[in-house]
Amino acid sequence: MTFFNEQPVTAADKTFFQLRKDIVEGEVASGSKLSETELSTKYAVSRAVIREAINRLESCNLVERKANVGARVVTLTPEGLVELYQVRESLEGMAARLAAKNMTDQEIGDLNVLLNTHFQKVKTGESYYQEAGDVDFHYRIILGSKNKHLISMLIDGIYHLVRMYRVQLGMTGPRITTAFDEHKNIVQAICNRDEELAEMLMRRHILYSKNNVEKKLEAVN
Amino acid sequence: MTFFNEQPVTAADKTFFQLRKDIVEGEVASGSKLSETELSTKYAVSRAVIREAINRLESCNLVERKANVGARVVTLTPEGLVELYQVRESLEGMAARLAAKNMTDQEIGDLNVLLNTHFQKVKTGESYYQEAGDVDFHYRIILGSKNKHLISMLIDGIYHLVRMYRVQLGMTGPRITTAFDEHKNIVQAICNRDEELAEMLMRRHILYSKNNVEKKLEAVN
DNA sequence: ACAAATGAGATTGTCGACAATATAACCTTA
DNA sequence: TAAGGTTATATTGTCGACAATCTCATTTGT
């Protein structure tokens, strides 16, 4: 998976990545306050570095900040999850449309290869698919859109929040084979350069995914 | 117009707003370098404040930053404009869909009132409509979606860049009366709680708008 | 007893100085 | 002369200290 090729260069980068990881994986609790002095001792950097990291986390929608008061990790709610999937439906639908238009034949070929490797794993019953595989599939289509803003909004803007919901609410269940078929149909539409269909199928795919996630959410509560 | 109710509280806020205004309106040239020391003397604040402002501007897609090198104001290109409108089509389409679902009857009533005042101004030939009126219309529907991420992405994320294109490429021409009719139909769909149609009409509206803007862009070059 | 005012403590916001890095001019050498 | 290395300069990154603001407990007055 060629996902996280972003590599830190400054101390603020490292701190940002580390803090983001800790938040997404729940090591820093959802809803908890982010004290600048406390974090600066914990991560052994100055407050200026922490402040920059927190600012970037705010851009990712992972923390909320109030002037002269401070920053808190976002709280996860069913409503928030629904809103997130609504945005995903919209943006990733458009991404699929643009991918059908802009991906090279080479890239589409690679996508088919990826799908085949997933198919092998699904057949042998490996559970690898759901997490990394699904992410990788969506990631490639997003990049395939070749739209800078779309890519930035999805990858930098909401992907980590989606992952935070998945990790912290334990959304790593099945829905493997059906999701695989949906992926296959989306790729087929992209192969055919059918923008309209690619968008529609991607939107449905995310809608199904949302319904599935909501069902699990109800089961938990 | 109740657009900019955001009011600065810290020095970083003020500097951010001022710098954003200067960039959008072209006072700070597109593509120019943002020197931290230079700006700190110009705006009479410390470099820390400037750095925070620049970080926020990066989140708005108004400047691009490279580690250890610095920040530059984004350059405006025809391709960038197309990408921006593609994202708008996607997000504002979804906003219209959600507005048809989530706006209160009161809010829809207010929207109709707004439309009527615009109609009066269009009839008497005032050009006020295009700029502020169009913005206000879209703004209300975005807020009407009641979706936090959608609102944040559109208002904080891309609106100012859209405005930067409009101002600097002189996109303040006609397309008044036809756009008005499109607005009217969108509101009608929202009145009828027809989510499907509201989204479709909004997407078309933005598509037309994009084509119109592109035509002007060609005329300029 | 309750509400508003006051003050102590802690947290965020801002600042100037220093360290690390990139850019560009200059020098060296083939 | 051109290519490569080196130094000088300027810019960004990081730090600790101080100022401004908020929070909350205590006090004060009715």
Centre a 10 Å sphere on the Cβ of residue B128 and count the other Cβ atoms it contains.
13
Instruction: State, as a whole number of angstroms, the distance between the CA of A51 and the C1' of D20.
Output: 17
Report d(CA A156, CA A138) in Å as an integer.
14
* Contact positions of strand C to protein Cβ (< 7 A): 11-17, 21-23
pLDDT in tens, B158-197: 999 999 998 888 776 556 566 788 999 999 999 999 999 9
Tell me what pLDDT residue B135 has. 82
DSSP letter string over chain B? ---------SHHHHHHHHHHHHHHTTSS-TT-EE-HHHHHHHTTS-HHHHHHHHHHHHHTTSEEEETTTEEEEPPP-HHHHHHHHHHHHHHHHHHHHHHHHH--HHHHHHHHHHHHHHHHHHHTT-SHIIIIIHHHHHHHHHHHT--HHHHIIIIIIIHHHHHHHHHHTT-----HHHHHHHHHHHHHHHHTT-HHHHHHHHHHHHHHHHHHHHHHHHHH-
pTM attached to this predicted model? 0.92
Closest Cα in chain B to A66 = B9
pLDDT in tens, A68-92: 999 999 999 999 999 999 999 999 9
SS3 A35: coil
Strand D contact at CB of residue A11, distance < 7 A: yes
Domain ranges of chain B: 11-73, 78-219
In this complex, the residue of A52, A59, A150 whose CB is nearest that of residue B87 is A150
Write the CB contacts of A102 (distance below 8 Å, at least 6 apart in sequence): A144, A145, A146
Strand D contact at CB of residue A199, distance < 7 A: no
DSSP letter string over A116-162? HHHHHHHHTT-SHIIIIIHHHHHHHHHHHT--HHHHIIIIIIIHHHH
Write the CB contacts of A34 (distance below 8 Å, at least 6 apart in sequence): A28, A54, A63, A70, A71, A72, A73
pLDDT beneath 50: ranges in chain B: 1-3, 128
Class of B78-219 in CATH: mainly alpha
Report d(CA A89, CA A126) in Å as an integer.
27
Tell me what pLDDT residue A2 has. 43
Report d(CA B163, CA A101) in Å as an integer.
27
**Residue B30 near residue B76 (C-beta atoms within 8 A):** yes
Tell me what pLDDT residue A220 has. 60
Closest Cα in chain B to A83 = B147
* Of the options 1.20.1300.10, 3.10.310.50, 1.10.10.10, 3.40.50.2000, the CATH number for the domain spanning A11-73: 1.10.10.10
Tell me what pLDDT residue B2 has. 43
Report d(CA A128, CA A43) in Å as an integer.
32
Strand C contact at CB of residue A58, distance < 7 A: no
Strand C: which residues 11-40 of A lie within 7 A (CB)? 33-37
The rounded mean pLDDT for chain A is 90
Q: State residue A147 phi and psi, 5-degree precision.
A: -105, 115
Is the minimum CB–CB distance between B206 and chain A shorter than 8 Å? Answer: no
Report d(CA B45, CA B53) in Å as an integer.
11
Total count of residues recorded for chain B: 221
Write the CB contacts of A148 (distance below 8 Å, at least 6 apart in sequence): B80, B83
Q: Please enumerate, as own/partner, the contacts of A28-31 that have beta carbons within 8 Å and a separation of 24 or more.
A: A28/A73, A29/A73, A30/A73, A30/A74, A30/A75, A30/A76, A30/A164, A30/A168, A31/A72, A31/A73, A31/A74, A31/A75
Cβ–Cβ gap A59/B61 under 8 Å: no
SS3 A81: helix
**Residue A19 near residue A39 (C-beta atoms within 8 A):** yes
Tell me what pLDDT residue B174 has. 52
Expressed in angstroms, the distance from the first to the final Cα of chain B is 34
Cβ–Cβ gap A86/B9 under 8 Å: no
Mean pLDDT of A137-162: 95
- B-contacting residues in A 31-60 (Cβ below 8 Å): 48, 51-52, 55-56, 59
Tell me what pLDDT residue A170 has. 77
**Residue A23 near residue A57 (C-beta atoms within 8 A):** yes
Say how many CB pairs under 8 Å bridge A and B. 74
Tell me what pLDDT residue A179 has. 78
**Residue A187 near residue A111 (C-beta atoms within 8 A):** yes
Tell me what pLDDT residue A130 has. 58
* Residue whose C-alpha is closest to residue A187's, from A130, A148, A128, A141: A141
Cβ–Cβ gap B86/A67 under 8 Å: no
Strand D contact at CB of residue A45, distance < 7 A: yes
In this complex, the residue of A9, A84, A150 whose CB is nearest that of residue B149 is A84
